[in-house]
Chains A and B, each alone.
Chain A
Amino acid sequence: MAVERFPVEASHILMFARSIGDSNPIYSDATHASDTEVGSIIAPPTFAQASAQFDPDYFLRPKDGQKWFGSGGTASGTLSQNEDKADSKSDDKKSGSSAGGLHAEQHFTYHRHLKPGDVLSAENKPGESWEKESKRAGVLKFSESITEYRDQNGELVVTARSVGVVTEKVIEQ
């Protein structure tokens, strides 16, 4: 994702660490952290993904004045009442793409670990795209994107590679 300004803040790291069930004090306790090898609070390894919070166009966050595709009075805010009823439990399982696809792979290369006070920018480059046939989900369309996170000094700190997949059929276990 492309983000102009992603300020890394201690309270955000705390909330993120809580959400993944990680009570390691390196993510919340500055006094503890100052006595460790890393020397300060750092962010958990997958934290760069929370740059979504600072992407003004991120499509998986409801935005003021725009219809949201999740449910309100109807099952989806972007379908009319009629469509909503008609397509409920319809014959064919819908494409997983109704939710914008699924996350297939995620890779992070750490040049250094993020810490409170960093102000990052993220630049996005499209990668490869390919298709695969699957018994469980039909035709799978994969696409890759590379995000480079740089700090306030322009140094590359994290490189992320993400692969998304759009499935022909809904995947159930």
Chain B
Amino acid sequence: MGLKADGLSIGDSYSEVIVEDLTRTQIVQYAGASGDYNPVHSDEKFVTEVAGYPTVFAHGMLTMGMTGRMLTNYVGDGRLTYYGVRFVNQVWPGDTLTARAEVSEVREENGQTLIDLAISTTNQDEKFVLTGNATARVD
């Protein structure tokens, strides 16, 4: 089930809290599932002493993955035709993130109705951690 085009207007939005109090364990879980074992995401000794960061931080792709959940909950399963983001700030253990999508365009292409969405994910300080765009097929 997708969204219905005739009920949609530019400026409509949808948001979800995608993680509360992000844990180091979830970051490790993502490392294992994705195969990205960069020690900056799980190795406190390496990240503080060698890489010079205050502590471990989340993979950008974890934030993109969690933001993708908000998107598919909004537009429906299998409906995305494009999803792209910029990672604008780091995500740290303890962060609570809210992801939001806003309809920026409703259009027809090759006989399909598509919506363009502007996406942003913010942390508990209302700082942007991710911005991006998506396109989805609607009914």
Contacts and interface: CB of A to CB of B under 8 A. Distances in A.
A24 B77 contact: yes
B19 A106 contact: no
A24 B73 contact: yes
Q: How large is the interface on A (under 10, 10 to 19, 20 to 34, 35 or more residues)?
A: 35 or more
Query: Which secondary structure dominates chain A's binding surface?
Result: loop
B80 A110 contact: yes
Nearest to B1: A37
A42 interface: yes
Contacts of B2: 37
B62 A19 contact: yes
A137 to B, nearest CB: 11
Interface stretch (B7-15, B27-35, B109-117): B27-35
A113 B65 contact: no
Interface of A: 12, 15-16, 18-22, 24, 26, 36-38, 42, 44-46, 49-50, 52-53, 58, 60-62, 68-71, 75-76, 79, 84, 87-89, 93-94, 96, 98-100, 102-110, 113, 161, 170-173
Contacts of B80: 45, 110, 113
B45 to A, nearest CB: 4
B49 interface: yes
A107 B84 contact: yes
A110 B72 contact: no
Contacts, number: 169
A21 B127 CA distance: 22
Interface of B: 1-2, 18-19, 26, 29-30, 32-40, 43, 45-47, 49-54, 59-62, 64-66, 68-69, 71-73, 76-78, 80-87, 89-90, 92, 127
Contact of A20 (B30, B54, B85, B127): B30
B66 A20 contact: yes
Nearest to A83: B50
B62 A20 contact: yes
13 contacts: A18-B33, A19-B65, A21-B66, A22-B65, A26-B77, A44-B69, A44-B72, A45-B68, A46-B68, A61-B35, A84-B49, A96-B51, A100-B38
